[in-house]
Amino acid sequence: MSDSSRSSQPAAEFDAFAGDYDAAINEGLKFTGEKKEYFAETRIRWLKERLAQKGSQPRSCLDFGCGTGTSASLLQEGLGLEKYTGFDPSSESIAEARKDHPTGPFQFTHEVKDLPENSFDLAFCNGVFHHIPLAARDEAFQRVFQSLKPGGWFAFWENNKWNPIVHLLMSRVPFDRDAIMLFPFEAKGQMQRAGFHIALRDYLFVFPASLKFLRPLEPAMCKLPTGGQYLILAQKKS
């Protein structure tokens, strides 16, 4: 379910998939009856509503683990961003992202040292941390924390380890097969250690396309750990 996956996975592995990353993801998603665009658009729409409820309208965003930049335009348009910065350690993926976004308020880098501190209203990641080695995850959360302005928000999307269908889908994607997912309580604890205040946790993507007539029920079910992904929305307190 990740369209912007990975951060500290060895970059060479994702360099090899940079040219056909979308095809690999869509192969894994066949079982759901949807392509990655459905999940990406739904995530951003859901996030926009949650941020609005918190009185936040971010103007700058760090896409942490942006891959080939497939979420860049969706985030910029969906949230009304004035500044978008995508980071991914895969130089080949960043090259693809720059090629696809030659104009507009987009910047991309594969160098973590290039990420400024106290600079972003929002940090976003999707399906990133299950690729980061266990020993490096605390540092990655801290790096995201440092990048945010005081009062900034972190939208952390991850695949739901409680959901058996997610394991099946990930087994169909070459670069997801050996990934180590985080239980929601694990992610929450690591985010709190980094300094974040946890505002909410939602679960999304319960019904496949064959049951899409039931999707209007999903908002009422968002606190049940049944969805294919979860969102933890956290804040860097002022």
Q: Is residue 152 a contact partner of residue 122, using CB atoms and an 8 Å limit?
A: yes
**Domain range for 31:** 11-214+226-235
pLDDT classification of 171: cutoffs 50, 70, 90: confident
Reported as a single tens digit per residue, the pLDDT across 83-121 is 999 999 999 999 999 999 999 999 999 999 999 999 999
Residue 195 has pLDDT above 70, yes or no: yes
In a domain, 74, yes or no: yes
Q: Are 164 and 38 in contact (CB under 8 A)?
A: no
Q: Are 14 and 2 in contact (CB under 8 A)?
A: no
CA nearest to 39, candidates 169, 149, 185, 129: 169
Question: Mutual orientation of helices 21-29 and 164-171 as an angle, nearest 10°?
Answer: 140
Mean pLDDT of 16-34: 62
User: Looking at residue 26, which CATH number applies to its domain?
Assistant: 3.40.50.150
Examine residue 221 and state whether it is found in any structural domain, yes or no.
Answer: no
40 within domain boundaries: yes
Residue with tokens 């997801």: 176
The single residue listed with the structure tokens 């990934």 is 179
Determine the Cα–Cα distance for residues 6 and 205; give it in Å rounded to an integer: 20
Cα 117 to Cα 33: distance, rounded to the nearest angstrom = 40
- State the pLDDT confidence band at 151, using cuts at 50, 70 and 90: very high
Helix (H, G, I), strand (E, B) or coil at 4: coil
* 3-12, 143-152, 153-162, 163-172: range with lowest mean pLDDT: 3-12
The domain total for the chain is 1
- Please report the sign of the dihedral spanned by the C-alpha atoms of residue 45, residue 47, residue 52, residue 58: negative
- The per-residue pLDDT of the chain, averaged, comes to 89
Q: Is the pLDDT of residue 224 over 60?
A: yes
- Structural tokens at position 95: 């090259």
Q: Does residue 5 sit within a domain?
A: no
Query: What percent of the chain lies above the pLDDT cut of 70?
Result: 86
Rounded to an integer, what distance in angstroms lies between the CA atom of residue 53 and that of residue 155?
14
Model pTM above 0.85: yes
Please tell me whether residue 84 adopts helix, strand or coil conformation: strand
Position 182 scores a pLDDT of 96
How confident is the model over 154-182, as a mean pLDDT? Answer: 88
